[in-house]
Amino acid sequence: MSYRTFNPYTCKEEARFNFISKTAFYKKLNLAESSFNHWKFTALEERSRILMKVADLLEKEEEKHARIITTEMGKPISQSRMEVAKCAWISRYYAEKAEEFIAPVKMESTARESYIRFDPLGIIFAVMPWNFPYWQVFRYIAPNFMAGNTGLLKHASNVPLCAIALEQLFLDAGAPEGVFQNLLINYEQAGQVIRHPAVRGITLTGSNYAGYKVAELAGAMGKKTVLELGGSDPYIIFSDADLEQAAETGIMARFQNNGQSCIAAKRFIVQEEVYESFLSLFREKVEALKVGDPMDPETVIGPVARKDLLLELEDQLQHIVAQGGKILTGGRRQRPKSLILEPTIVTDLPIDAPINQDELFGPVIPVFSFQKEYEAVQMANNTPFGLASSIWTGSRERADRIAPRIDAGTVAVNGMVKSEPNLPFGGVKASGYGRELSETGMHEFLNIKTVNYF
């Protein structure tokens, strides 16, 4: 058994790595534990200096890291460069803000003096996905690095080069050995990591199946988890919206990362009065997208990351058509054996179409229509997921009225959903629990300790 890297554009194997041995596995776990006993007492200024150096290296070596991402999972190179730049941003953010976020807070109480401390917990284990192979890791490691926790990473099996590069990046920046380690391990070994007594928290971004398995195992051990799972995000367009801007933004909102994003706009819900106008405008933009080699800076749609994922997506598309959906454009592979699916628009689906209950992870977009405002809200919430949503309207009053009624962790008004270092991010319902990013995300894996002086 091994980690294998296939270039999804060329469909050729790039590299193969064996799972680490049992001896190496326990050596890394012990190193993470012993490193924590020193790292938690390291001055905040020193942690900040190293994380700033990480940001410097990311900016200096942006092209190297971007090419690793694109080679391993097919993200268009222009978007890979933006991902690397975003990782430098979050590194600087936490390097600058951590002191403020974990400063003791005085509280009133019956004691003579009371305050709250924010102390590190220990080893935080991350199970991370392939679709944003750098950004997802940085969302976890940047705040925990500054908090004084040590990190162990089990990355997705199709992006081992990214995982190896990330660990080396921190070492090159001067991070002590053992503070952040990559583990080339299988799922059985991942379970052993969760059970290890020095591992105090687990964060996972990925499928619902994997998330529930991790939560079950961690729960049995009484360990804290943060889960960011799937999404079926609605993109609601009212008749008073700026249709040109909604269509232009909708391209990236749906097709970023070849449609393989948890927070992609996965269901367009358009008011009847402007349905045909919007559809015509959007179709024109979709058909103008450059599809092909992800290393070409002009490419917008590259390959799906793996063959099995493309087969699943094509199966979902067949079911959508069988349920009455009409393919307006796209729906075919660029070439018979390629992993590139043309950007696809599907219309004429009933309001209660089963696809509302699934996640479309690829460049396929179903477009629904509605008449009344309450119908739009019902359709938006007609899914087990609750990660994010977008509302397009010219009325601030309407946006303020609808935003609280949407079951989601994020609501974007007249824009696409984004994750930023300074804003809490996470979902509700089947999209998970807990938050990443901002001060809130940093506190997830800290011991919020009350100290009283009587």
pLDDT tens-digit readout, 397-450: 999 999 999 999 999 999 999 999 999 999 999 999 999 999 999 999 999 999
pTM, to two decimals: 0.97
Q: Which of 262, 342, 359, 444 is catalytic?
A: 262
Name the pLDDT band for 355 (thresholds 50, 70, 90): confident
Name the pLDDT band for 87 (thresholds 50, 70, 90): very high
Query: Is the model's pLDDT at 46 over the cut of 80?
Result: yes
Query: Is the model's pLDDT at 105 over the cut of 90?
Result: yes
**Which pLDDT tens digit goes with each residue over 63-83?**
999 999 999 999 999 999 999
CA distance 85 to 82: 5
Q: Which domains, ranges and CATH numbers included, belong to the chain? A: 2-229+428-453 (3.40.605.10), 233-413 (3.40.309.10)
Please say if 228 is a catalytic residue. Answer: yes
Q: Which of 62, 72, 83, 228 is catalytic?
A: 228
Q: Which of 33, 22, 28, 24 is nearest to 197 (CA)?
A: 33
Q: How far is CA 95 from the centre of its chain?
A: 21
- Tell me what pLDDT residue 370 has: 96
- Tell me what pLDDT residue 376 has: 97
CA distance 296 to 164: 25
CA distance 166 to 100: 27
Please say if 113 is a catalytic residue. Answer: no
Q: What are phi and psi of 258, to 5 degrees?
A: 60, 30
- Tell me what pLDDT residue 1 has: 60
Mean pLDDT of the 156-184 span = 98
- Tell me what pLDDT residue 323 has: 87
Lowest mean pLDDT among 101-115, 180-194, 349-363: 349-363
Query: Is the model's pLDDT at 30 over the cut of 70?
Result: yes
CA distance 152 to 17: 18
Burial of residue 55 (CB within 10 Å: 0-12, 13-18, 19+) is buried
Distances (CA, A) of 259 to 39, 132, 338, 402: 39, 12, 16, 26
The percentage of the chain sitting over the pLDDT mark of 70, rounded to a whole number, equals 100
Query: Is the model's pLDDT at 57 over the cut of 90?
Result: yes
CA distance 224 to 306: 32
Whole-number average pLDDT of the chain = 97
